[in-house]
Amino acid sequence: MKKSIEKISGDTEGVAYEFPVFRFEGSDSAAPGAYIQAALHAGELPGTVAIDALMPMLEKAEAEERIRQRITVVPWANPVGRAQYFLGEQQGRFHLGTRTNFNRDFPLVERPDAALLPDTSLASVDQKLKARLLALSLGHDIVLDLHCDDESVAYLYVPAELWPAMQDCAAAMGVDAVLLWQGASNSAFEEASVHPYLTGARDRLGKVAVTTVEYRGLRDVDGALARSDAEGLYRLLAARGVIVDPSVPAPGPFKGVVAPLENIDMMPAPRAGAILYDVAPGERVKRGDRLATIVHAPGEKDGRAEVFAPQDGYILTRRSHRITRAGDDLVKLVGEQRSADARSGTLED
């Protein structure tokens, strides 16, 4: 394993950011390579601790010469967001200087070639970071961007063009659900990673596995879960031939929930107030079931507003906080049919 330090210059003199990159080299040029990053939204840490648990497995495989092709690992992908605190609260989703989501506006290139990336010498620091992360990932057949939701089951976002070929990845990782998206996603990292294979390098599309991994919720930073997630990542690498390990069985068919993004009902809150949830992630509901109650005028007649399921479906996520504004989304309900309020591209800012 080789460790290097990436340095990103800030927007003013004397300010710079650093993050480590770990590389494991293989000897089979025909085998697929893998890129794994975590904490692009700096406060989302289940993926970071999963990588921590994965690293000894990779080191052992390297020592036994079982790594066929290069593996690049970035446990802390966002030093800029990691340094952002406001009134004691970590703010890692948006760059405070540009107000842009750290997982939006990545550069799109027509081929997996870092030479095609734009010059960022005069760009803002978040754009410099995005170009550097994409440069690190280009050329790897497997690209995993590890995130988490608020309160959630484990699930994947997968480009529709890569499904069902990526069923083995979902099964190996042991996730509960897969959301399929197509078209534009405001140039999220996943879109930027798969874009070269949808344009100038379509001949390699069948070998590519690109996904955003949502490892449950913000508070699911736990040693046992980290080990389980690391084992899932390792199974994926073995299944796809990045690592040789005959002791790892081939993944079976994926038996979880699979749905297009357009089937998601986000369920905006009808009033501002306190949220009383009736459902939790992983539960199935019928049309008309109550999902939540908003207490907007405590103790008053008609001081509650109820929210009901518009269709049969599966509760993927819910908010980790219990205060809401009117219009804030409450859950991700994976419906059996297209949502009446279908959103394409991205579900949230």
CA dist list (Å): 125 to 81, 105, 114, 182, 193 = 11, 13, 18, 29, 20
CA 5 to chain centroid, in Å, comes to 23
pLDDT confidence of 152, banded at 50, 70, 90? Answer: very high
Residue 215: other Cβ atoms inside 10 A: 29
- Rounded to an integer, the average pLDDT of 181-210 is 93
pLDDT digits (tens, 9 = 90+) for 309-337: 999 999 999 999 999 999 999 999 999 99
pLDDT of residue 346: 84
- Do 134 and 117 contact (CB within 8 A), yes or no? yes
Rounded CA separation 54/145 (Å): 15
If you average pLDDT over every residue of the chain, what do you get? Answer: 96
Which domains does the chain carry? 2-255 (3.40.630.10), 262-335 (2.40.50.100)
Residues 173-189 pLDDT 10s? 999 999 999 988 899 99
So what's the pLDDT on residue 20? Answer: 98
Query: Distance between CA 83 and CA 75 in Å, rounded?
Result: 15
Pure H helices in the chain: 46-63, 79-82, 125-137, 167-173, 189-198, 223-239
Whole-number pLDDT of residue 25 = 95
Q: Which of 341, 343, 283, 276 is nearest to 312 (CA)?
A: 283
Query: Which amino acid is located at 241 in the chain?
Result: G
Q: What is the pLDDT of residue 343?
A: 82
Q: pTM score > 0.85 for this model?
A: yes
The predicted pLDDT at position 349 comes to 86
Mean pLDDT for 279-291 is 98
d(CA 71, CA 24): 5
Whether the predicted pLDDT of 203 surpasses 90: no
H or E segment and range at residue 215: strand 209-217
